Amino acid sequence: MLVNGKEMRSLWYEDDCLKLIDQRKLPAKFEIFVAKNEEDVAYAIKEMVVRGAPAIGCAAAYGIAMAKNKEKAAELISNTRPTAHDLFHAIDYMLKKIEQGEDAIKAADAYVETIIKKCKKIGEYGEKLIPKNARILTHCNAGALATVDHGTALSPIRMAKDKNIFVWVDETRPRLQGLLTAWELEQEGIEYAIIADNAAGYFIRKGEVDLIIVGADRIAKNYDVANKIGTYEKAVLAKENEIPFYVAAPLSTFDNNIKNGDEIEIEERSEKEVMNIYTWKPKKARNPAFDITPAKYITGIITEEGIIKLADN
């Protein structure tokens, strides 16, 4: 990913520490969070220093690698966020590699490199779906920040930047992760406009959106998708208005132990995230972090091994 014209990754291991771009501070400030042990990594995941299913998994891999007691570290980190499957995929990967006698840091390095390569392949497959002059809608952030490099939903967009594309960026309340997408697009020189979440239907109905690409946090065996709250309504709008709705995710996001979306645990975060913009505080708020998009609304899932065709919109 580009940061002020310089190539870098959203997290990396250096000087016996895991260093992460602190996504809580972006785009106003660019700061590096330094995790010195598994407790720091667990904090970074729980408090959203690092976000995005693949990046969470990569951070988890290093957290286990740095720990003296790998099993306790795995338990600690697995209890940070329940919805994203990559977290648990990475933990299982690390424990298996360590049991086989592999060096833990080298195993974590290999895991991260694999994720980066997968995201690049997602971009190569997904770019072919984007026509010239396309107007693309995104939701949340599924860019390099969320995947260490390239991105999932943003990987095809990055590779299609010479096609004169334009990106509608949902702000994605309550954490405003659309700002991170806008920041990444600006770094890449890709034209965009950020919009309120509830403005998406307006532009879709006016015919100003040609396709939608989002990421995923967990994909069930029947291809139901858990993604950032607000994704479901975008998929329904896409179906109603006959525009393609694509999900971009590596195969590490697929959970074949989950039959359908109803079995996916949905994280509910603090109501403070919803109410922090209010001067008058309501008595109660609800803050589910994700929702479920049934497979029938999804045109296809873009993976590192190709595109899984689903619906006809």
Q: How far is CA 10 from CA 33, 289, 293, in A?
A: 11, 22, 28
- Per the DSSP assignment, residues forming a β-bridge with 168 are 137, 193
What does the longest C-alpha to C-alpha distance in the chain come to?
58
Instruction: Give dist(CA 58, CA 71) in Å, integer.
Output: 17
> How many CA atoms lie less than 13 Å away from 250 in the CB half-sphere?
33
Structural contact between residues 266 and 226, judged by C-beta atoms closer than 8 angstroms: yes
Structural contact between residues 43 and 182, judged by C-beta atoms closer than 8 angstroms: no
Q: Which of 40, 217, 224, 291 is catalytic?
A: 217
SS3 of 54, please?
A: helix
Token pair, residue 78, equals 């697995």
Structural contact between residues 193 and 170, judged by C-beta atoms closer than 8 angstroms: no
- Per the DSSP assignment, residues forming a β-bridge with 260 are none
Q: What are phi and psi of 263, to 5 degrees?
A: -90, -5
Give the strand pairing for 225-228 and 290-293: antiparallel
Q: What are phi and psi of 300, to 5 degrees?
A: -170, 160
Torsion 207-196-146-294 (CA) sign: negative
Neighbour count for residue 62 (Cβ, 10 Å): 28
Catalytic residue status for 16: no
SS3 of 105, please?
A: helix
The verdict on whether omega for the bond into residue 27 sits within 30 degrees of 0, i.e. cis, is yes
Active site members: 217
